[in-house]
């Protein structure tokens, strides 16, 4: 059963006219199988599938793989409402490649949000990393005077509202911050001192997402917001989720902040608007060994790992052969350019010039983490059989014995993903290559740390950004 959204705090002014709600996505069907990225409408909300697939009957709101994007889009709330539309999403800023050890995620400052305003104003906001995200919206305050013939517009002003979400790598708590930055110059006419109030609508799949603390006053006149505009963040709300019965204890917590402008003289609410869409997932995955207390991440963007040929870990070790293999696998579409070749000795029945497109190079063709140690090991064994059959029967593999001359059979997509050699579709959509064993081992350590530090759990989508 879908939990009922709760509003905190309760506004004390006259309610805004009810929007007209319509769902533009097809309704979820209990008889269909859905694949990653599918969007459906169900029980008045829009849902997006964030895992590779679902079985028939896995209902949105009951199964954690469905991400609630919030209530269906609403029509105009008032003829006097004035909210500028957010800009289309530009190409997101690439996350920083993390070293092969436990690393604390950096926080984000308000200046960083302002310096990346184009992204902050986008529908997905600006993501610094999985634990630091911000979004900004512009709101128009309209001042009206009631006359004998009706309401008369006397002035228009604009202000920005900035939001930041700071989640934790080792805690199921996260904090939403807000900052109101009035624009001093009026667009037109005169403006009294209206109240600007900030509220949040909270919804979670299992109903465990609760507000546990708040700082600052979210209901202030414009002059007070202006006088404190030099502070970092003016208001904050802290939320906490409990471990659920879902796989990995997952809880999806969605918050829709909205702002209300009330013209005090007329006691008339001028406009109300949601200017951000906060989507946080908390989990308690036991196989993330760096962080035993569970943690939360922002899910507004698909995660990706940026790799360069000059990457190195904290000890200065590089892995150029690993980079070369991944780059070649993702960029080659000729079936005979990678091993196993198509057609070739292991796939002889395919026609000449068969195309091979290996997944993992974009958000539209992501990889999904395979969190089973046993399945990952079996997949590596499976990949080695292709190296033996098509490259060479044996090779010096012991680093202890052969040092820098030792080789490993490397596979891409990674053995730690559901798109590896055992699960490839079509069955040849992967690549194996013999590369330097030390480089392969050190990159594997860095990849494992990246999973841990970014709380990449089973069936989480991600892709590789090769630069």
**DSSP structure string for 295-335:** EEEE-SS-EEEEE-TT-B-TT--B-HHHHHHHHHHHH--BT
Per-residue pLDDT reduced to its tens digit, 440-461 = 999 999 999 999 999 999 989 9
Distance in angstroms between the alpha carbons of the first and the last residue of the chain: 45
Those residues whose C-beta lies under 8 Å from the C-beta of residue 348, and which sit 6 or more positions away, are none
Q: What is the pLDDT of residue 293?
A: 94
Domain boundaries defined on the chain = 1-11+22-75, 78-300, 305-466
Q: 93 falls in which pLDDT band (50, 70, 90)? A: very low
Looking at the predicted structure, is the pLDDT value of residue 291 above 90? yes
Quick check: 174 and 168 in contact, CB under 8 A? yes
| CA-based torsion, 209, 210, 215, 217: positive or negative | positive
Q: Which residue has the higher pLDDT, 267 or 362?
A: 362
Q: Which residue has the higher pLDDT, 384 or 262?
A: 384
How deeply is 279 buried, as exposed, middle or buried, from its count of CB atoms within 10 A (0-12, 13-18, 19+)?
A: buried
Looking at the predicted structure, is the pLDDT value of residue 96 above 60? no
Question: Which range scores top for mean pLDDT: 154-158, 224-228, 252-256?
Answer: 252-256
Mean per-residue pLDDT, 358-384 = 93
The distance from CA 267 to its chain's CA centroid, rounded to whole angstroms, is 40
Q: What is the pLDDT of residue 52?
A: 55
Return the structure tokens found at 219. 């209901």
Q: What is the pLDDT of residue 6?
A: 43
The C-alpha atoms of residue 414 and residue 421 are separated, in whole angstroms, by 8
| Architecture of the domain delimited by 1-11+22-75 | Ribbon (2.10)
Looking at the predicted structure, is the pLDDT value of residue 420 above 90? yes
Cα-atom radius of gyration of the chain, to the nearest Å? 26
Write out the E strands in 37-122: 39-42, 45-49, 66-71
Q: What is the pLDDT of residue 262?
A: 75
Q: What is the pLDDT of residue 249?
A: 94
Looking at the predicted structure, is the pLDDT value of residue 183 above 70? no
Mean per-residue pLDDT, 58-70 = 70
């Amino acid at each position: 059963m879908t939990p009922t959204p709760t509003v905190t705090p309760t506004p004390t002014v006259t309610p805004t006219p009810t929007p007209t709600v319509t769902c533009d996505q097809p309704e979820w069907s209990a008889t269909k199988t859905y694949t990653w990225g599918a969007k459906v409408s169900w029980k008045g909300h829009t849902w997006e599938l964030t895992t590779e697939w679902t079985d028939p009957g896995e209902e949105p709101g009951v199964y954690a793989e469905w991400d609630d994007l919030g209530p269906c889009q609403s029509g105009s709330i008032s003829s006097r409402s004035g909210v500028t539309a957010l800009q289309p999403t530009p190409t997101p800023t690439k996350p920083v490649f993390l070293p092969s050890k436990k690393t604390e995620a950096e926080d984000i400052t308000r200046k960083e949000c302002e310096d990346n305003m184009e992204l902050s104003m986008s529908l997905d906001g600006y993501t610094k990393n999985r634990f630091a995200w911000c979004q900004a919206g512009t709101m128009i305050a309209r001042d009206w005077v009631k006359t004998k013939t009706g309401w008369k517009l006397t002035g228009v002003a604009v202000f920005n509202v900035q939001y930041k979400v700071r989640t934790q790598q080792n805690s199921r708590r996260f904090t939403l911050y807000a900052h109101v930055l009035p624009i001093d110059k009026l667009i037109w006419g005169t403006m009294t001192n209206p109240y600007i109030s900030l509220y949040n609508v909270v919804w979670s799949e299992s109903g465990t997402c609760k507000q546990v603390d708040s700082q600052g006053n979210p209901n202030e006149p414009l002059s007070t917001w202006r006088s404190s505009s030099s502070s970092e963040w003016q208001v904050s709300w802290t939320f906490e989720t409990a471990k659920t019965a879902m796989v990995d204890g997952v809880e999806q917590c969605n918050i829709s902040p909205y702002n209300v402008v009330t013209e005090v003289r007329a006691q008339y609410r001028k406009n109300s608007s949601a200017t951000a869409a906060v989507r946080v997932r908390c989990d308690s995955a036991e196989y993330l060994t760096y962080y035993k207390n569970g943690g939360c991440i922002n899910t507004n963007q698909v995660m990706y790992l940026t790799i360069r040929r000059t990457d190195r870990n904290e000890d200065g070790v590089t892995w150029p052969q690993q980079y070369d293999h991944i780059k070649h696998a993702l960029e080659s579409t000729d079936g005979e350019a990678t091993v196993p070749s198509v057609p070739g000795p292991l796939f002889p029945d395919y026609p000449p010039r068969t195309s091979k497109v290996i997944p993992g190079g974009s958000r539209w063709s992501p990889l999904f983490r395979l969190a089973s140690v046993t399945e990952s090991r079996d997949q590596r064994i499976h990949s080695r059989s292709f190296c033996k059959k098509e490259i060479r029967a044996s090779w010096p593999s012991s680093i202890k014995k052969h040092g820098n001359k030792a080789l490993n059979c490397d596979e891409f997509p990674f053995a730690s993903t559901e798109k590896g050699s055992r699960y490839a579709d079509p069955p040849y959509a992967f690549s194996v290559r013999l590369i330097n064993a030390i480089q392969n081992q050190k990159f594997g350590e860095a990849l494992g740390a990246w999973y841990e530090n970014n709380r990449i759990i089973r069936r989480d989508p991600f892709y590789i950004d090769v630069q």
